[in-house]
Amino acid sequence: AQSVTQPDIHITVSEGASLELRCNYSYGATPYLFWYVQSPGQGLQLLLKYFSGDTLVQGIKGFEAEFKRSQSSFNLRKPSVHWSDAAEYFCAVGPYNTDKLIFGTGTRLQVFP
Amino acid sequence: DTAVSQTPKYLVTQMGNDKSIKCEQNLGHDTMYWYKQDSKKFLKIMFSYNNKELIINETVPNRFSPKSPDKAHLNLHINSLELGDSAVYFCASSQAAGTGDNEQFFGPGTRLTVL
């Protein structure tokens, strides 16, 4: 069965520090991969997605993610975090031939000034 | 302009009541979804509709009944509400269906509290 694991429930970083949020997936083939961000009290916004091609994808708000097939990972990175990045981050996999997004349990990011 | 909107934003009700949540999208998308986010922030799909036709129907109690009067609207009706139904319900939409590579656009959520 397809699944997504986000090992870090809660991460705290200082403003200006670099960030990496981990995501591992379980799927029999190359899935479609997504990162969403949920600000407090808000809906989810797509940060970036990977379907095929270049394994390093750029997203909005200065985020990027790298697909590593050998590690079944799709980690999200940002070189310098801003206080406004504090939110909940969700990794999701979209199995081929279905629109059923399967979400990880989320990583809560806290940013200290 | 709001892309995916939901009403109400908050809903507080007693156990046993029947309630509805409405969702509308103005993106011209063909597919709409309902997700449930529990108290631990875990998001799980409940239903999806494509052009008013039910496509995905996860293991959801039949007290939950989605209704799509047209492709821009997908409502969720819940009968005989239970404490465990308390959650945030998100509506989403996407361009097409059945390929897995569609970006889904989410509404702001409806926080349902059952007392």
> Could you say which of B41, B55, B104 has the minimum Cβ distance to residue A101?
B104
Q: Rounded to whole angstroms, how far apart are CA atoms B114 and B33?
A: 22
Backbone angles phi, psi at B23, to 5 degrees: -140, 140
Token pair belonging to B20: 């509805």
The answer to whether A2 contacts chain B (CB < 8 Å) is no
Q: Do A99 and B43 touch (CB under 8 A)?
A: no
Q: How far is B79 from chain A (nearest CA, A)?
A: 25
How high is the pLDDT of residue B97? Answer: 62
Q: Average pLDDT, stretch B97-103?
A: 66
- Say whether pLDDT at B100 is over 70: no
How high is the pLDDT of residue A68? Answer: 93
Contact by Cβ (8 Å): B2, B93: no
Alpha-carbon distance values, B73 to A61, A96, B67 (Å): 30, 26, 8
The CA-CA-CA angle for residues A78, A68, B35, to 5°, reads: 70
